[in-house]
Amino acid sequence: MADKRAKQIAELIKPLQVKPGSKVNLAKDFDPGHKAGFVKKKDGAKLLRTGIELLADYQARLAAQDTYGVLMCLQALDAGGKDGTIRHVMSGVNPQGVQVSSFKVPSAEELGHDYLWRYACRLPSRGQIGIFNRSHYEEVLVVRVHPENLDRQKLPEDARGKGVWDRRYREINDWERYLSDNGFKVVKLFLNLSKEEQRTRFLRRIDLPEKNWKFSAADVRERTYWDDYQRAFSEMLSATSTEWAPWYVIPADRKWFARICAGAVLVHTLMQIDPRYPMVSPARRQELLIVKGELEAEAPHGAAADPFAAQQERDAAREQDAQAEQAREDMEPEKTAEQGA
């Protein structure tokens, strides 16, 4: 069963992965409206639920094992659906095991450091899932499309001339490799929205008064740089999808499908780590059994020595009865048919 689900998830996300070393042309290679074999939203609902259940289980094990961490980076153009994706994907997990960090225009303090500093400060610890809502990839996206951002970074002359973007790709790849080698698995999701769907979502934000707060005139100005962003995204995906930190291009025109895919990528990453609950040594187990004996001896008159074990036995017996009853019911129609003959 678990293998079947693992296979289903791997198959769903395989076409979304950017093959390390491949050259991406976003407009040609990835369709924002893709929805795999799913026809309607309700077909995908079951898979989303399964994904969320699996996520909760794997996250609990990741935390208990306390050896690996996961960093999921989310990038998208405005109205790409990052916030909603995070809300849905994380709906089933223990909030203590997740930390979400959003990155805005850098502060004066942040600009006083090297460009990866503020992201390094927000990395997850072992046992945790960290989500970056925007990430260090802004350093080769918005900073590239609007080079005045680079001016503000106070770089020395020879660190900002020609070749700065190729150098940043290399530095980012090296940094992610370092994290991966040290037990922190990095996955990167680009929510790929079409220009027309972005227009629709902006209009929705204007048309619905309760969504007006989300609308910013700056987002519409940013839209005029659409082609520059598509180029910057294509180059970034080509240069920074690696074996140790792959990019996935998530079709984002249908929110429900984007959420299924995002959940699937995260579950897949956790399945690869395959975290296990730590088992205690036989010596420690012996110690526990001695304490068990002491606690059982404290049982008040009339109480079970071990109420938990007693409850487990009752549950098991009830389950067995239910199965026997089901088996009898399954036999019924045959009996009736025989009797009728």
Give the x-and-dash track for 76-105 against ligand AMP (CB under 6 A).
Answer: ---------------------------xxx
Cα separation, 6 vs 1, in Å, equals: 9
> Which of Mg ion, ligand AMP, none binds 139 (CB below 5-8 Å, type-dependent)?
ligand AMP
CB of 218 to Mg ion, least distance (A): 7
CB of 110 to ligand AMP, least distance (A): 8
Binding to ligand AMP in span 147-186, by CB under 6 A: 149
> Which of Mg ion, ligand AMP, none binds 176 (CB below 5-8 Å, type-dependent)?
none
305-to-288, 291, 292, 311 alpha-carbon distances in Å? 16, 13, 10, 11
Would you say 183 and 126 are in contact if contact means Cβ atoms under 8 Å apart?
yes
Closest CB to ligand AMP among 71 and 267? 71
Selected binder of ligand AMP within 142, 155, 164, 220 (CB under 6 A) = 142
Cβ contacts of 233-236, under 8 Å, gap ≥ 24: 233/26, 233/75, 233/141, 233/190, 234/24, 234/25, 234/26, 235/140, 235/165, 236/137, 236/140, 236/141, 236/169
Rounded to 10 degrees, what is the CA torsion of 111, 103, 198, 98? 160
Structure tokens of 141?
């996206």
> Which of ligand AMP, Mg ion, none binds 142 (CB below 5-8 Å, type-dependent)?
ligand AMP
Would you say 133 and 109 are in contact if contact means Cβ atoms under 8 Å apart?
no
Cα separation, 16 vs 19, in Å, equals: 9
Instruction: State the residue number with the nearest CB to Mg ion.
Output: 78
Selected binder of Mg ion within 34, 78, 88, 106 (CB under 5 A) = 78
153: exposed, middle or buried (Cβ count in 10 Å: 0-12, 13-18, 19+): middle
> Which of Mg ion, ligand AMP, none binds 105 (CB below 5-8 Å, type-dependent)?
ligand AMP
Closest CB to ligand AMP among 141 and 250? 141
Closest CB to ligand AMP among 43 and 219? 219
Closest CB to ligand AMP among 74 and 270? 74
Stretch that binds ligand AMP, among 8-16, 68-76, 134-142, 258-266 (CB under 6 A): 134-142
The residues binding ligand AMP (CB under 6 A) are 103-106, 134, 138-139, 142-143, 149
